[in-house]
Amino acid sequence: MIEVRDVRKTYTTGEVEFEALRGVSFSIKDGEFVAIMGPSGSGKSTLMHILGALDTPTKGKYILDGKDVSTLSDDELADIRRDKIGFVFQAFNLLPRTTVLRNVMLPLVYAEVDGEMRKTKAEQALRAAGLDEEHFIHLSNQLSGGQIQRVAIARALVNDPTLILADEPTGNLDTKTGEIVLGTFQRLNEEYGRTIVLITHEHEIAKHADRIISIRDGKIVEDSGTHARRSAHHRHETY
């Protein structure tokens, strides 16, 4: 599903060059739950931007669902982000004076899905993310941090993306709430077969994934492989 081949990213400021990624290669299969872990300055954020089609590599290839993302134009990258990738960020990025349901429906408006189908798909995504139905009509600023992040997860799910990319998704949450949100990702992976890539600098967060790719100084220093916890069979359910 995902293939990263010798990806390099160099930033140039004046006459100074900085190589943020120095030949990164790995693959991720459909249905895997992978954490990419590294300290500040390791290159993990640069890698996240490339995986999320927010940037392209200076050299190397990034292939998502058989398409070489590294060669695409800005408009084509926008299409990939809309159709293939669901983002969950540390900052929840919800509209505060808008209902939970409307927040989750918003990506479907851009995708030109009709009104009734938008509502149905948004409700299904919210249930899958573990939010109680009584909260669907609440404004997003009336919810707790953990509830808001589950709304953000539902919004990431609603377009039935190939990849869910979560960048420090528990960074604004207390430990207990963070565990609940990480449990939501685990359930989406185990019960629904969702492919999830989690970006973090904390090992305690990364260990919720089945596989940890550790990055330092722009290179992969360890790839743990998959753990036995993974269920033998995954199913991919659409919303």
Q: Which two tokens stand for residue 49?
A: 């931007």
Give the mean pLDDT of 174-189: 93
Contacts of residue 40, defined as CB under 8 A and 6 or more positions apart, other chains included, come to 201
User: Mean pLDDT of all residues in the chain?
Assistant: 90
Q: How confident is the model at residue 236, as a pLDDT?
A: 54
Give the mean pLDDT of 72-99: 91
Which DSSP letter does residue 233 get?
Answer: -
CA distance 64 to 24: 15
Give the mean pLDDT of 157-168: 93
Determine the 3-state secondary structure of 21 from DSSP.
Answer: strand
Across the chain, which distance is largest between two alpha carbons, in Å? Answer: 57
Q: How confident is the model at residue 85, as a pLDDT?
A: 94
Full-model pTM? 0.88
- Asked if 188 and 131 count as a contact pair (C-beta separation under 8 A), the reply is no
Give the mean pLDDT of 105-111: 87
pLDDT at 228 over 70: no
Sorting pLDDT into bands at 50, 70 and 90, what band is 55? very high
pLDDT at 186 over 90: yes
pLDDT at 66 over 50: yes
pLDDT at 233 over 60: no
CA distance 86 to 166: 8
Sorting pLDDT into bands at 50, 70 and 90, what band is 239? low
Q: How confident is the model at residue 27, as a pLDDT?
A: 96
Which DSSP letter does residue 88 get?
Answer: E
Q: How confident is the model at residue 230, as a pLDDT?
A: 44
- Asked if 91 and 73 count as a contact pair (C-beta separation under 8 A), the reply is no
Q: How confident is the model at residue 115, as a pLDDT?
A: 83
pLDDT at 213 over 90: yes
pLDDT at 212 over 60: yes
Q: What dihedral do alpha carbons 128, 49, 220, 64 form, nearest 10°?
A: 60
Percent of the chain with pLDDT over 70: 94
Q: How confident is the model at residue 189, as a pLDDT?
A: 93
Which DSSP letter does residue 90 get?
Answer: S
pLDDT at 227 over 70: no
pLDDT at 225 over 80: no
Q: Which domains does the chain have, with CATH numbers?
A: 30-57+83-223 (3.40.50.300)
Determine the 3-state secondary structure of 61 from DSSP.
Answer: strand
Using CA atoms, how far residue 232 sits from 71, 95, 101, 224, 229, in Å, is 35, 39, 34, 18, 9
Q: How confident is the model at residue 237, as a pLDDT?
A: 55
2-11, 65-74, 84-93: range with highest mean pLDDT: 2-11
